Structure 1
């Protein structure tokens, strides 16, 4: 049985231009909300125009200051965000930018986890070593945002099966799960492999043997 959600309402709609370091630019409608259950300042970006009769393409992207803003190659977050914006613009849909740094543990804890990763732990082991969950993200607020936007059925742009599971349990109908590209680099290959091994992300790595644990 789907979880009954408290209603969220739209607070502000404003048009903003987006421009990425590679020169790609697009205009989005940014939407903010009242009544989100976690009290965080999550943001929806409405992009593109979808064809009649098609479900919107939706990406739930968790904030990553190091990857999204500073271009860190320790993760694939920055390239995933850039890819998602263009694909959603082309298909028509919504990017939910969720303030869930470090899979929900926060920026400082994420950097503490990086130090443990440098000492040999993988990204999930490092979180546990800090006494934190492997993945502390909850997508109830995301489902509220979608409901407030009138989105009840969607195509989900994600490699993470937990996102689809949580949304379905929250009453959101997913027509199709669409994988993102693989943005592997020498710096993030171990991180990506851990996502495959621990949480069964659908990432086709070409060199998994190079990655330990």
Structure 2
């Protein structure tokens, strides 16, 4: 299932404002904080409700975001496996990807990012 939560739950307009701040050198999390918004305000309650309604107790989770796995575990789900998604690394998103790993423990292989920089 996919939950549409633009800009880590801050909404589309705020996401655009955050992009402007990122153009000045802030990373994605710093930009949210500069706008007096949380780094990540996503809520996984709807996903939990859907899975419970379907009688699902164990899942294979496709994500690089360990916060999603933690949220589901905290609601009683068993994560059978966490499968990382692929990443597209470019000059324009390297800082963004590094911030995700360094600030929010995403499971993106920094070696692949660093390889791109060489």
Query: TM-score normalized by structure 2?
Result: 0.90
> Between Structure 1 and Structure 2, whose CA radius of gyration is higher?
1
Unaligned runs of 5+ in 1: 1-95
| 3-state DSSP of counterpart to 1:99 | coil
After TM superposition, list the pairs within 5 Å mapping 1:30-41 onto structure 2. none
After TM superposition, list the pairs within 5 Å mapping 1:104-119 onto structure 2. 104-119=9-24
Q: 1:190 aligns with which of 91, 95, 104?
A: 95
Question: Using the alignment, how far apart are the partners of 1:175 and 1:146 within structure 2?
Answer: 15
Structure with higher helix content: 2
Unaligned runs of 5+ in 2: none
Question: Using the alignment, how far apart are the partners of 1:143 and 1:101 within structure 2?
Answer: 19
Counterpart of 1:71?
none
Q: 2:29 aligns with which of 100, 114, 124?
A: 124
Q: 1:181 aligns with which of 86, 99, 102?
A: 86
Question: Using the alignment, how far apart are the partners of 1:124 and 1:200 within structure 2?
Answer: 13
Per-residue deviation, 1:175: 1.1
RMSD of the TM alignment (CA)?
Answer: 1.5
| 3-state DSSP of counterpart to 2:40 | coil
Per-residue displacement from partner, 1:112-163 (whole Å, max 9, x unpaired)? 0000000110000000000000010111111101111222111111111100
Query: TM-score normalized by structure 1?
Result: 0.51
Counterpart of 1:202?
107
Question: Using the alignment, how far apart are the partners of 1:179 and 1:124 within structure 2?
Answer: 21
